[in-house]
Amino acid sequence: MKYVYWTVVCTTPGCSTRHFAKFIGEDTGTAYKLQGNLPEVFYHQCQKCGKVHTYAPADLVPYSVYLSPRTGFQEWW
Ligand SMILES: [Zn+2]
């Protein structure tokens, strides 16, 4: 079973760590639309490079993995 998340990729050159912003659900292979009360901008500190970057909703991309959300997963909105 694959699960889909909204993700962003760290914009620090050479880092490219993927951050998981929100759980969408089981991967149904369909197109995903952003839902809910999104802020205009997200601030997120990268655990790998330590830098804080800002991301807009347009930066969010669906990403599918074989991992269900871990306990305590903090969603961005
Ligand atoms: Zn980074």
**Residue 15 has what pLDDT?**
97
Assign 72 a pLDDT band (cuts: 50, 70, 90): very high
Q: pLDDT-derived band of residue 66, with 50, 70 and 90 as boundaries? A: very high
Structure tokens at 24: 């969408």
Neighbours of ion ligand 1 (CB under 5 A): 10, 12, 15, 17, 46, 48-49
The C-alpha atoms of residue 74 and residue 77 are separated, in whole angstroms, by 9
Whole-angstrom distance, CA of residue 9 vs CA of residue 11 = 6
State the Cα–Cα distance between residues 57 and 61, nearest whole angstrom. Answer: 9
**Tell me, what's the pLDDT at 71?**
95
Number of C-beta neighbours around residue 25 at 10 A: 10
Beta bridge partners of 64: 4
- How far away, in angstroms, is 44 Cα from ligand 1 center? 10
- Tens of pLDDT, residue by residue over 3-58, are 999 999 999 999 999 999 999 999 999 999 998 899 999 999 999 999 999 999 99
